[in-house]
Structure 1
Amino acid sequence: MFTLPSARSLLAVCRSPGSVLSHALRPAAPLFAFSRFRSQLAPKRVKYLKRHKGVVPVPIGGSIKGTTLAFGDYGIRIKENGRRLTAKQLTSAEEVIKRKIKPIKGAKVYMRVFPDIPVCIKGNETRMGKGKGAFEFWATRVAPGRVIFEIGGAPIREEIAREALRLACDKLPTINEFITRDTPPRLGNLVMSREDFATQKCVPITAP
């Protein structure tokens, strides 16, 4: 005589690790939403509030992505090794640039990086263990040669652009360089010429 299995036995089979329905019954990870101001640099929502510290990416595979201008006519890019920039530092640099180019109608500032990495800090003289520290601020990892800010949208004199970006560099803890549309891409500490870029051969033409 055939008997139907009970509901409890069916639920136990579905929740077993090897079953197909176990993934469907697994609860989804919560999405953490934040109440932020309009001018605050922070992601709208994240899946995990705390992350590992991680390392700064280094383009060891020959990638030159993000080392040239894409939106504006002038910009700055990091010249030394990669660093971690905080949202407060990027906001201060952006405000300085906007204040300098405000008289120029139609001028825009383009930020090529965004702080989406949560940084957690524990208090000083705290014993080891007992979980990760509390959330402190947002940051981003910038690789060497990466463009940080660009200026464009309207014709701007090079002298004004240099002064605006110089003031922005004073707000950042990195060594940056001024670039234009004619500046060749950078591969780490090596600057590629236009001919070498076309043939994908990296030859340093300036001192790092």
Structure 2
Amino acid sequence: MLPILLKRSLLLLKQKSQILTVQHVPPLAPIALAYVQQRFRSDFAPRKIKYKKKHKGRVPVRIGGSTKGNTVAFGDFGLRVKDGVRLTSSQLTAARTAIKRKIKVIKGSQVWMRVFPDIPVTSKGNETRMGKGKGSFEYWACRVPMNKIVFEVGGGGMRKEVAKEALRLASDRLPVKTEFVVKENIENNIIPIIPIIPIKNSS
């Protein structure tokens, strides 16, 4: 009878010790997201938009005589589009990468992108019947009017030849005709002040 009681007491002690002992649990690995958000599908994408889908729209045509965005403002040289066009995020990424690869040897050089793709473009699959709602998101794009500066480069005493070659490489990756522009010299635009000399009467 005594050995049976001892066995039972030992079993109870083992069970209590297993309950009281706290095993070290390693931290859980971060759970991967089941889906990738839309703004991570490209290098350039807005952080937040009001509506996830928009109408196709048209490229704006400026008829009021405004010259905003038509001249170089930040750098010394710029790339200007000669026609209205819709540029995608991948096209802008390829052009910007080509510029940075060319001017990275110049210390202090910078690149400015004057447009940003913030319009979601949707698409439907091939051989899809009409209707059934708008298509799914495909990529980001931006509408660029005629004579708009897209890229600017400068800094580090950049020479005109290097900037022209860098912007030419970017132009080859854009589906529109472009032109190379130089920042206007402010000193040349100052109208000289002619002193007014009063004419005395001979009388």
TM over 0.5: yes
| CA distance 1:35–1:53, shift in 2 (3 Å) | closer
Q: Indicate if the aligned counterparts of 1:119 and 1:135 stay in contact, CA closer than 8 A.
A: yes
| CA distance 1:35–1:162, shift in 2 (3 Å) | closer
Q: Structure 1 stretches of 5 or more lacking a match?
A: 1-32, 184-193, 196-208
1:79 to 79, 82, 89: 82
Aligned residues: 151
- Please, what is the CA RMSD of the aligned residues? 1.8
| CA distance 1:64–1:144, shift in 2 (3 Å) | same
Could you tell me how far apart the structure 2 residues matched to 1:40 and 1:162 are?
Answer: 25
Q: Give the number of the structure whose alpha-carbon radius of gyration is greater.
A: 2
Could you tell me how far apart the structure 1 residues matched to 2:53 and 2:46 are?
Answer: 13
**Corresponding residue for residue 145 of structure 1:** 147
- What letter matches 1:45 in structure 2? K
1:112 to 111, 114, 123: 114
2:57 to 50, 54, 59: 54
Could you tell me how far apart the structure 1 residues matched to 2:74 and 2:38 are?
Answer: 30
- What letter matches 1:36 in structure 2? F
Fraction of identical pairs, as percent: 59
- CA deviations on 1:128-178 (whole Å, 9 max, x unpaired) are 001000000000000000000000122101000010000000000010000
TM-score by length of structure 1 reads 0.69
1:127 to 114, 126, 129: 129
| CA distance 1:100–1:135, shift in 2 (3 Å) | same
- What letter matches 1:47 in structure 2? K
TM-score by length of structure 2 reads 0.71
Once the 2 structures are TM-superposed, how far is the Cα of residue 36 of structure 1 from its aligned partner? Answer: 2.3
- CA deviations on 1:57-113 (whole Å, 9 max, x unpaired) are 111111111000010000110012x01000000000000000000000010000000
Q: Is 1:160 the counterpart of 2:169 in the alignment?
A: no
Q: Structure 2 stretches of 5 or more lacking a match?
A: 1-36, 191-203
Could you tell me how far apart the structure 2 residues matched to 1:158 and 1:89 are?
Answer: 24
- What letter matches 1:41 in structure 2? F
Where in structure 1 do 4 or more consecutive aligned residues deviate above 3 Å?
Answer: none
- What letter matches 1:165 in structure 2? L
1:1-208 alignment, distance < 5 Å: 34=38, 36=40, 40-80=43-83, 82-182=84-184
- CA deviations on 1:19-53 (whole Å, 9 max, x unpaired) are xxxxxxxxxxxxxx75528x810011112100000
Structure of greater relative contact order (alpha carbons < 8 Å, 6+ residues apart) = 2
| Partner secondary structure for residue 179 of structure 2 | strand
